[in-house]
Amino acid sequence: LVSRDFHPENSIINVDGLLIGGDEYVTMAGPCSVEGREQIFETARMAAAGGAKVLRGGAFKPRTSPYDFQGLGEEGLQLMREAADRYDLKMITEVMDEGNLDLVCQYTDIIQIGARNMQNFRLLEAVGRTGKPVALKRGISGTINEWLHAAEYIAAQGNLNIIFIERGIRTYEQMTRNTFDLSAVPIIQGLSHLPIIVDPSHGVGVRECIKPMALAGLAAGASGMIVEIHPDPNKAWSDGPQSLNEADYLEMMKEVAILEPTM
Ligand code: PEP
Ligand code: MN
């Protein structure tokens, strides 16, 4: 169902009026984690000021260590919804397990499936049954073929509102957090009718590399990007080293706006 053989034209995902995969390049921006009211409202203000249309943020966080901050849970969802509405943004947030799916769906516009859950097949089927837009991250060591099949699990439940997110894969390289695989953009576009966006933040994990890789994603033909921003990245509770402050984010978005019409 996700293959171009099945559906030759590009699919456009309609998120309550916001089109992803159409002519407009869509930016999703926000903190890695929702940390509190002031932080998420301030970040939503920044996101909107730069031209983002979707607020990202985690309330349930898949942290490497069980002792790291795990997210604010439902309180985080509530705060994020309020902040998104205040700045006229859509909302994307991760669901980690089926048990929280109904709860997350009450608040979010787009369900994010994190890299660590790309092959959690029961979860993929459950989000498939919701019918809601789903953004499916590539697994940490996921091949493109495995990623396409993961999307097929969602589609097989009757939900074709799927957006791929390239977020880098694990390789032997240590200078970046992951190896950002931009070739996935044209490859996915060749094999599937569904849109793909890029996540330069997790893709490289190094602040200085975010802008060039974001622009490269646009040049590669992605339908948008998802990027981590924070009012004070050095104080972020998660992923500070890859989060942009307001000035760097606005500078990046200025360059995106210049390039976008030419792509
Ligand atoms: C995130 O978006 O903050 C996240 C945890 O991403 P990933 O699943 O790609 O690691
Ligand atoms: Mn993160």
132 C-beta closer than 6 A to ligand 1: no
The answer to whether the complex's ipTM is over 0.85 is yes
Residue 63 maps to a domain = yes
Confidence label for 261 from pLDDT (cuts 50, 70 and 90): confident
114 C-beta closer than 6 A to ligand 1: yes
Residue 138 maps to a domain = yes
Nearest Cα residue to 156 out of 127, 136, 176: 127
Confidence label for 110 from pLDDT (cuts 50, 70 and 90): very high
Residue 203 maps to a domain = yes
Confidence label for 262 from pLDDT (cuts 50, 70 and 90): confident
Residue 146 maps to a domain = yes
Residue 3 maps to a domain = no
Nearest Cα residue to 220 out of 178, 189, 241, 244: 189
Residue 171 maps to a domain = yes
Cβ-Cβ contacts under 8 Å for 149 (sequence gap 6 or more): none
- This model's pTM is above 0.80: yes
- The gap from C-alpha 68 to its chain's centroid, in whole angstroms, comes to 21
Residue 66 maps to a domain = yes
**In the predicted structure, residue 25 carries a pLDDT above the cut 80:** yes
**In the predicted structure, residue 177 carries a pLDDT above the cut 90:** yes
What average pLDDT does the segment 29-55 reach?
98
- Mutational test site, ligand 1, from 54, 94, 113, 204, max ligand atoms within 8 Å of CB: 94
Protein residues placing their CB within 5 Å of the ion ligand 2: 32, 239
58 C-beta closer than 6 A to ligand 1: yes
Please report the pLDDT score of residue 115 as a whole number.
98
Confidence label for 69 from pLDDT (cuts 50, 70 and 90): very high
Tell me the pLDDT tens digit for each residue of 114-150.
999 999 999 999 999 999 999 999 999 999 999 999 9
* Domains: count for the chain: 1
Residue 6 maps to a domain = no
Any bridge partners for residue 3, and if so which? Answer: 192
Through-space distance between the first and last CA atoms of the chain, rounded to whole angstroms: 28
What distance in angstroms lies between residue 157's CA and the mean position of ligand 1's atoms?
A: 24
202 C-beta closer than 6 A to ligand 1: yes
138 C-beta closer than 6 A to ligand 1: no
Please report the pLDDT score of residue 221 as a whole number.
97
Please report the pLDDT score of residue 195 as a whole number.
98
Please report the pLDDT score of residue 263 as a whole number.
72
Exposed, middle or buried by CB within 10 Å (0-12, 13-18, 19+), for 68? exposed
What distance in angstroms lies between residue 5's CA and the mean position of ligand 1's atoms?
A: 30
User: What are the angstrom distances between the C-alpha of 244 and each of 8, 86, 136, 201, 235?
Assistant: 37, 22, 23, 9, 12
Q: For the domain that residue 253 is a member of, what is the CATH number?
A: 3.20.20.70
- Mutational test site, ligand 1, from 202, 226, 243, max ligand atoms within 8 Å of CB: 202
62 C-beta closer than 6 A to ligand 1: yes
What average pLDDT does the segment 11-28 reach?
97
Domain region containing 214: 13-258
What distance in angstroms lies between residue 228's CA and the mean position of ligand 2's atoms?
A: 7
Q: Are strands 13-15 and 18-20 parallel, antiparallel or unpaired?
A: antiparallel
205 C-beta closer than 6 A to ligand 1: no
Tell me the pLDDT tens digit for each residue of 185-210.
999 999 999 999 999 999 999 999 99
Hey, how many other C-beta atoms are within 10 angstroms of the C-beta on 45? 15
Q: Mean pLDDT in the chain?
A: 97
Confidence label for 52 from pLDDT (cuts 50, 70 and 90): very high
